[in-house]
Amino acid sequence: MIDQHRTETVTGSAHFAFTDRWGGVSAAPYGELNLGGAVGDDPAAVGANRERAARDLGIDPALVVWMNQVHGRDVAVVDGPWGADAEIPAVDAVVTARRGLPLAVLTADCTPVLLADPVAGVVGAAHAGRPGLVAGVVPAAVEAMIALGAHPSRITAHTGPAVCGRCYEVPEAMRAEVAEAVPGTWSETSWGTPAVDVTGGVHAQLAVLGVTDRHRSPVCTRESGDHFSYRRDRTTGRLAGYVWLDG
Ligand SMILES: [Zn+2]
């Protein structure tokens, strides 16, 4: 089928893409385009989906750098894909100075963050759920990009589909704790209870770092039937965000 929901933005030589759940081969509850390898889906289906998503974007599926995401703040600096037998490190951000190397982040409610400085030739991808946001994974990713020659004023940032601040309910004490650690996160659900706006926090952190060219997907995963949502469905697939520079 034609993928009508995938979004890809191109800024100069930089590509930012986010998948939705359609256009793959996975069966329920992972249907259709589950790209996560650790959620209980058939590995053959995940492989076929990753191949399909990459071909659709015009990138080589064998080059895509995936992470073993653990809600921390560690960053891996890479210059090529992991080897076939390599153990993928437990990190929540990955950066590279190699043009043409696509970096990928998996999510289902957490905020996927894609970053690129096309002038320096440096890109980064980060996985920011509430714990990673508070731990500072996004600033850590930007710092790692700066170490590779990027400058915040040249970085374009895209945050993808994620659970919104009107849907992410948390206990009152947790809202206060997160708001104290990260500005821009204090929120309330549409039904009037305490909530956290993780994407709002990501943008606040990026603003402090001097990243002004920021774009926020309007899609809330919990409210969209076209996207995987852990909060809504618990057992479900994972969306992917991809960032790369023309090689
Ligand atoms: Zn929402």
Rounded CA separation 138/89 (Å)? 18
Give φ, ψ of 17 to 5 degrees. -135, 140
- How confident is the model at residue 114, as a pLDDT? 98
Q: Is the peptide bond between 29 and the residue preceding it cis, with omega within 30 degrees of 0?
A: yes
pLDDT at 226 over 80: yes
How many angstroms is it from 232 CA to the middle of ligand 1? 10
- How confident is the model at residue 1, as a pLDDT? 40
- How confident is the model at residue 3, as a pLDDT? 47
Rounded CA separation 161/220 (Å)? 6
The CA–CA distances, whole Å, from 236 to 21, 92, 160 equal 10, 20, 18
pLDDT at 190 over 80: yes
pLDDT at 43 over 80: yes
What whole-number percentage of the chain has pLDDT above 90?
94
- How confident is the model at residue 86, as a pLDDT? 87
What whole-number percentage of the chain has pLDDT above 70?
98
How many angstroms is it from 217 CA to the middle of ligand 1? 12
* DSSP assignment letter at 24: S
How many angstroms is it from 85 CA to the middle of ligand 1? 39
pLDDT at 4 over 90: no
pLDDT range class, residue 194, cuts 50, 70, 90: very high
Q: Helices 137-147 and 198-208, interaxial angle, to 10°?
A: 40
pLDDT range class, residue 5, cuts 50, 70, 90: low
Q: Pick one of 3.30.540.10, 2.60.40.3880, 3.60.140.10, 3.40.50.800 as the CATH number of 2-245.
A: 3.60.140.10
How many angstroms is it from 220 CA to the middle of ligand 1? 5
pLDDT at 84 over 90: no
How many angstroms is it from 80 CA to the middle of ligand 1? 36
Q: Give residues with Cβ within 8 angstroms of 186, minimum separation 6.
A: 175, 178, 179, 196, 197
How does pLDDT run across 141-188, given as a tens digit for each residue?
A: 999 999 999 999 999 999 999 999 999 999 999 999 999 999 999 999
How many angstroms is it from 246 CA to the middle of ligand 1? 34
How many angstroms is it from 112 CA to the middle of ligand 1? 15
Rounded CA separation 155/14 (Å)? 10
pLDDT at 108 over 70: yes
- Mean confidence (pLDDT) of the chain: 96
DSSP codes joined into one string, 105-160: EEESSSEEEEEEETTTTEEEEEEE-HHHHHHTHHHHHHHHHHHTT--GGG-EEEE-
pLDDT at 2 over 80: no
Nearest Cα neighbor of 221 from 212, 233, 211, 210 is 233
How many angstroms is it from 197 CA to the middle of ligand 1? 10
How many angstroms is it from 21 CA to the middle of ligand 1? 17
How many angstroms is it from 11 CA to the middle of ligand 1? 28
Residues with CB in 5 Å of ion ligand 1: 164, 166-167, 220, 222-223
- How confident is the model at residue 243, as a pLDDT? 98
pLDDT range class, residue 11, cuts 50, 70, 90: confident
According to DSSP, the residues that pair with 15 across neighbouring strands are: 10, 244
Domain spans, the chain: 2-245
